[in-house]
Amino acid sequence: MTVMAFNEALREALHEEMARDESVFVMGEDVITHGGPYKVTDGVAEKFPGRIFETPIAEAGIVGLGVGAAMAGMNPVIEIMYLDFITCAMDEVVNQAAKMRYMTGGQASVPMVVRLPCGVGRLLAAQHSQIMESWFMHVPGLQVVVPSTPADGKGLLKTAIRSPDPVMFFEYKRTYTHKGEVPEGEYLIPFGKADVKREGEDVTVIAIGPMVQKSLEAAVLLEDEGYDIEIVDPRTLSPLDTETICESVRKTGRVVVCGEDSSFAGSVSEIAAMIAESCFSDLKAPIVRVGSPHVPMPFSAELVKHVVPEAANVVSAVNRVMS
């Protein structure tokens, strides 16, 4: 194991996959300059000359080129500087990449990864801080990946690059500098396999992305109240590991689902609905959701505190289901 930051783990995965497979290449805005806006593509231009391309500010063109290259046998890794800008390329993602295998009867596929820095970061306000996981969960043909740790980031990105179908890879900006142990060398995590980050007996907390760390912080606080919580990290939202989630729910009988996405029609709501359909008779209390309110992300640091959920929100939710 090596201790490294989240962005360093992604960089290692990218370098390893580019060394393994000459068809892997990188495109995006500023991916050469400064090693990319978040340093993930640092060193690619020097180590793999001719396999990384800085693009104009033209997301539809970037993703469209990626779709064509993937269909022609290449494996593009596309960085969209901010998740918000993927809205400029929704036709290419939703109507082309996602549907190509189906529309061609399996004759064509799109092995493309779209990396999506998302969430609140340096107080970048409403047009640079969105979380759209549920948008892409709704589209058949897309795989939606949300790593929460450096190790998961490396293992899931390597799997994403090797996938024969398009992957929407969500990277929360605030986690880029978070450090953790990462396995060296070949390390892949299969899609559709959740991870139990902490075992417990009283409440199942299903946590997405940065809410995993916040839930682990909440678990320490809840120990003082005598509550032992289990934390399940889905890691991929599509495919979703319903088996692991339901196994945990049947053990504890109480559930909190938390994410930084809006709880209104968001990923937390889909997971809560799945649990209600699959494990209703096992529940000892109503399911509680923890998410952002249905508002644009503010610029003000004080207002952000009222929008983005924290460990205290998880503690409050657990107290509700235990009461």
Q: What is the identity of the amino acid at 303?
A: L
Q: Give yes or no for a contact between 318 and 255, defined as CB atoms under 8 angstroms apart.
A: no
- Return d(Cα 47, Cα 31) in angstroms, integer: 14
Residue 208 has, within 13 A of its CA and on its CB side, a CA count of 35
| 6 phi-psi bin (left φ>0, alpha ψ -120 to 50, beta other) | alpha
Query: CA-to-CA distance for 245 and 74, rounded, in angstroms?
Result: 35
Residue-wise burial string across 120-143, b where 16 or more C-beta atoms lie within 10 A, e elsewhere: bbeebeeebbbbbbbbbbebebbb
Instruction: Name the active-site residue from 15, 128, 294, 306.
Output: 128
215 to 148, 178, 257, 283, 310: CA distances (angstroms): 12, 15, 10, 21, 8
Whether 218 contacts 252, CB under 8 Å: no
Known catalytic membership, residue 128: yes
Q: What residues act catalytically?
A: 128
